[in-house]
Chains A and B, each alone.
Chain A
Amino acid sequence: MTREALYVRLVALYPRSFRREYEEEMMYAFSELSRETRSPMQFWSIVLPDVIRSAAREHFDAWTCGLRRVALHWVAACTVGALASGVVGWALFAAYGWLFPLDPSSIVSPVAVNLSVAVCGVLIGVVIGGVQSLALRRFLGRPVSWVAATSTTGAAGILPGLFLANWSGLEVVRFGYFVALAFVGSSFALWRSRLVRADRTSAGRWIGWNAGAVPAAVAAGLASEFFYRALVSSWPGVLGFLIFPAVVGLVVGVVTVWPLTRLLSRDEDVVADPAR
């Protein structure tokens, strides 16, 4: 087998899109290199490591390009954002306990309790929305609008959500909580779909999946926390506190990634050219 025939087989290891663009040029460069390098040992010591390294890299690039790259960034952003909001939440919780060592309900009015819930919603929304807007910055005209939408929905969505939970029978069945969470998820999605100028079909799909994603994620978070408590006898507070948001963020990211990519696929230029 000649060097060229062997190299043709090696070039087949590269992704198809890369071969389509550069195979002819690579063959030309290979032929020239082959003509100039007489020693087989020296020649293959250049070519073989080159093929292994660059083919692996190109496969990784091909796998993580376009919408798939956006999808990976989105799942990572949801997980990191939720984790970071967990840290913020834990800090707030600790500060609250330090400021009000007594039972807070005995000294704080219901209005103040609702207000503090809304403030928590804003802070969590700012943290999660901030990380997500970094992941989607190429698709958003004004990334700060995404953060604003997430934080205002965080505040405005939680209170009516809790009202809905009570109205739908919170005392009777815990199902009411999940109604509230579905409301929060769909409110988030409604605002955000307007920011990426989605058409009605993909916006509806995105809102629907988000409405399901948030309660599913919270259920998964509660389950993971339950198993963690069952498995670990000593209960390290900070770590336990972080398991819940991490799982919630991961599940929301994974569940919403498909409708998100459909939502963003209209911006074909940005998807095709991530360096833009």
Chain B
Amino acid sequence: MTPTHVEFHVLLSLIDGPRHGYGIMQDVAALTDGRVRLGPGTLYSIVKRFLRAGVIEECEADADRRRCYRLTRKGRRAATEEAERLADLMRLVRRRGLLQPA
């Protein structure tokens, strides 16, 4: 699967370990300095699709009995592939002089 921009941020948020829904929302906002703000509807719509595709799985509920989610092996692979695709794109962008080399 090729994740969209927002879906990729959700995958990135789960790289470090399991999180519950609001934890993902907070982490995505923090990762992007507030540029990407997920609402509950978008988040759980993505969660539903990811669960169906086997990209994430539910893990045991935390102390507040909130459902937690974690990446599956397939999800980690999808995140890595997307990261590699973006890295290739950045190399191309730099080669064309649109951005300065890092």
Contact = CB atoms under 8 A, between A and B. Distances in A.
- The yes or no verdict on A and B being binding partners is yes
B8 to A, nearest CB: 17
Interface of A is mostly: helix
B42 A29 contact: no
Contacts, number: 62
A54 B25 CA distance: 15
Interface in B46-83: 47-48, 52-54, 66-67
Contact of A22 (B38, B47, B52, B54): B47
A30 B40 CA distance: 6
Interface residues of A, number: 25
A22 B39 contact: no
A276 to B, nearest CB: 9
A273 B39 contact: no
Contacts of A273: 52
Contacts of A27: 40
Contacts of B100: none
A25 B67 contact: yes
Interface of B: 21-22, 25, 37-45, 47-48, 52-54, 66-67
Q: Which 9 A-B pairs have the closest CB atoms?
A: A50-B39, A54-B41, A26-B40, A29-B40, A22-B44, A29-B22, A32-B22, A54-B45, A50-B41
